[in-house]
Amino acid sequence: MFCPFASTGAEGAAVEGPQPPAPQPVPGSATGGRREPGRSAPPPPVMCSATMAALRAAVLAVLGLRLGCAAAAVPLVIWHGMGDTCCNPVSMGYIKKIVESRIPGIYVLSLKIGNNLIQDMENSFFMNANDQVREVCSQLAKDPHLKGGYNSMGFSQGGQFLRAVAQRCPSPPMLNLISIGGQHQGQYLQLNNTLHYLCVYGFPRCPGESSHICDWIRKMLDLGAYTQAVQEHLVQAEYWHDPLKEDDYRKNSIFLADINQERGINETYKKNLMALKKFVMVKFLNDTMVDPPISEWFGFYKSGQAKETIPLKETSLYTEDRLGLQEMDKAGKLVFLGVNGDHLHFSEEWFYTSILPFLQ
């Protein structure tokens, strides 16, 4: 917002304005402009109460506008992706820095799940997504900077997690939701390829299948993505969507199937999501991490096979309007952006031109 006022000075600084004219001698008077001996000077003119009230109102108006300019930047909440942390200087820390440099005075909260950065990273793999959402809802409710509303920006799995926040926790209100590479219809990789993708590309400090983390993931996946033990202890399984096992997915997915209304309609979820001003979804056009990439635009595979995909408008989620996405689309609230590059690969210039306008 452009503020037409310069920065304020010290509190109580006077506001300059027209001053009353100094008293002048009356022409032709006996004194000729000189005070007669023994007579006191006339009292100085008294500014009428109406003038004082007008000046006071003007001062308050100017101060109010200045304060309005300072408070105009809507706070921003950021949620990182898997294996990242709130404050990594080359990822979320850098995003926070460039947003603050382009929007002076903005309050940016980069979410940390846990007591330290190591816990934050580990929780992105092993803390139940529903528990993470509850933790974040609690953080947001206690933050006084957010009570008037906030924008949110989620990276990869942080995108669908923030959507869950929007659906489940309407106070404080989320205004705009920006999902950068979020998998809103879930992620699917055939099991024989899953370990390779997760261990080689997904896990930091995971050099290969000999890693203890990867060994643990292998054992969990061998049990089956939709078993209770895997669902409760492996975050990525909680948004695993197997198009070949739709019934298992709808019945046993403890996170994604719930927020996507797969087991019934929660009208509160629908109402809360529709309260967004804008829901921005960014798809990476050369994504090799997300399968299928169209999930980043709320599309997915046709049920029963894993080759042909369909866009959001052809899904039952849209045609039945279980989440209100059809109504939001007709109201111009859904924004679909594409960017060249692999998963989470984008330039500063693209970020400034494509994303920043939704934060201002």
Catalytic residue positions, numbered: 156, 287, 343
Closest CA to 234 of 221, 249, 247: 221
Residue 163: which of 174, 149, 148, 147 has the closest Cα?
174
In contact, 176 and 278? CB cutoff 8 Å: yes
CA neighbor of 84 nearest in space, from 219, 222, 235, 212: 235
Contact (CB, 8 A) for 300 and 314: no
Q: How many residues does the chain have?
A: 360
Q: How many angstroms separate the CA atoms of 31 and 9, rounded?
A: 46
Contact in structure between 62 and 15 (CB atoms under 8 Å): yes
Element (H, E) at 164: helix 157-168
Q: In whole angstroms, what is the distance from residue 331 CA to residue 148 CA?
A: 23
Cα separation, 56 vs 58, in Å, equals 5
Q: Running DSSP on this structure, what letter comes out for residue 23?
A: P
